[in-house]
Amino acid sequence: MQEEYSHMGGGVTEDSDHFELKKSFLNEYEMLSDDIRNSNQFLNLLLDQNPDPWYLYDLKGFLIDCNQSFEDLVGYTRVDLVGKCFLQLKLLPLIQRARAKIILDKNAAGMISGPDEFEFITKNGELINVELKNSLIEIKNRKLVLVTIRDVEKHLKKEKELESRTEAREKMIEELYRQIEKNLQIVTSLMNLQKAHMRDDKDAELLQDTHNRVKSIRKAYEKLIQSPELTRINFAEYSKSILSGLLSTYAPEPGNIGLNVELEDTFMDMGTSIPLGMILTELVSNSFRHAFKPNIMGEIKIIFKNYPDYYVLRVQDNGDGFPDDVNFDRTHSLGLQLVKSLVNQIDGNMKRKLSGGTCFSIEVPKLGSLELDRIYE
């Protein structure tokens, strides 16, 4: 055992030197802290510039001291107050002086009180609501009571102003979302009009794809307006809205293709919801159009799971799968290129199975876990 300590001796010495240096610094700062606390200049500055009003009285109720904030609150100067019993000052309404006497008796018995709500009468006769908190202190064997004051009306006024500003901002943001949703509705309506005048089926299909993409974004803002939150929507409800639109587009009548949906209720930020909604639109549209032969029964399954650190969206069908000559990584399909781009945009990871039916599984990290990963990179 002794040999083991001897072998490690160099490390112990180095650690000891570091410890002594650290201890020296700590001692130096502790001494400086003591000097500051014992400095009359520091204490006077701290007491005088404290924005919260305070006053000091003895156990007989005579005021000993107060700060500038207290003078500003009540309108009396320090000269008007110090040396006088606050029970006899016009500072308190008559009906509240009895309560103040009870608190003074408690203080004399070594008990503190508060917070207690009182009313003060200012020098100009204004009645203000305050909250008092008492603390017992002892200076040169003399017991005193330090009272700190919270101007209730002032704080309530600030809270109301903050609530009013917040409410106005929320209304403004809600109106902005509503306007965006209306503008996107106009765009989709224009596309519907344009599609009715198109003679080429291929061009009409391309326009329908763009229409679906814009519509998925519009539905996100539609859900956001209905959401109890300003920045997040229920992704399950959003997905159902997208799927309902796609179903009415590609299978308006009950037919051979069915949807099997398993979605967990999850509130998600718009920065993730919209790209993920567009991915869902592209993959489901692709399955509707290309996965199944005519008059063959088929199923498209959509699964969304919410895990502690990430989301998973899975879209799979039991159709024919991708043709053997299609290279997914080099595809010229705008829809599949868009899917890959959107997955990268939300820092997602996509897995796929392209034969015997298709299955796309997208894993998306949540914002919190993604930020932590970037911190530790």
Helix, strand, or coil (residue 358):
coil
User: What residues does CATH 3.30.565.10 cover in the chain?
Assistant: 233-376
Per-residue model confidence (pLDDT) at position 264: 94
Q: Classify domain 233-376 at the CATH class level.
A: alpha beta
> How would DSSP label each residue in 192-248?
HHHHHT---HHHHHHHHHHHHHHHHHHHHHHHHHHSSSSSEEEHHHHHHHHHHHHHH
User: How many Å apart are CA 285 and CA 30, to the nearest integer?
Assistant: 69
> How would DSSP label each residue in 36-103?
HHT-HHHHHHHHHT-SS-EEEEETTSBEEEE-HHHHHHHS--HHHHTTSBTTTSTTS-HHHHHHHHHH
Question: CB of 363 within 8 A of CB of 370?
Answer: no
Which amino acid would we find at residue 54?
A: W
Query: What is the per-residue pLDDT across 119-159, written as a single tens digit (0 to 9) for each?
Result: 888 899 888 888 888 888 888 888 888 888 887 777 677 77
User: How many Å apart are CA 347 and CA 367, to the nearest integer?
Assistant: 10
Q: What is the largest CA-CA distance in the chain?
A: 100
**For the sheet containing 116-121, what is the strand order?**
63-66, 54-58, 142-151, 127-139, 116-121
Return the H-helix or E-strand segment holding 105: helix 94-108
Residue 19's beta-bridge partner residues? none
User: What residues does CATH 3.30.450.20 cover in the chain?
Assistant: 43-156
User: How many Å apart are CA 280 and CA 241, to the nearest integer?
Assistant: 11
Question: CB of 362 within 8 A of CB of 347?
Answer: no
Per-residue model confidence (pLDDT) at position 363: 95
Per-residue model confidence (pLDDT) at position 189: 75
- Overall fold of domain 43-156: Beta-Lactamase (3.30.450)
Query: In the chain, which residues have pLDDT < 50?
Result: 1-14, 369-377
Query: What is the per-residue pLDDT across 45-93, written as a single tens digit (0 to 9) for each?
Result: 777 777 888 888 888 889 888 888 889 888 998 888 888 888 888 888 8
> Over the range 272-295, which residues count as b (16 or more CB within 10 Å of their CB) and which as e?
bbbbbbbbbbbbbbbbbeebbeee
Question: Beta 359-365 vs 298-306: how paired, if at all?
Answer: unpaired
Question: CB of 122 within 8 A of CB of 93?
Answer: no
Per-residue model confidence (pLDDT) at position 202: 73
User: How many Å apart are CA 11 and CA 158, to the nearest integer?
Assistant: 58
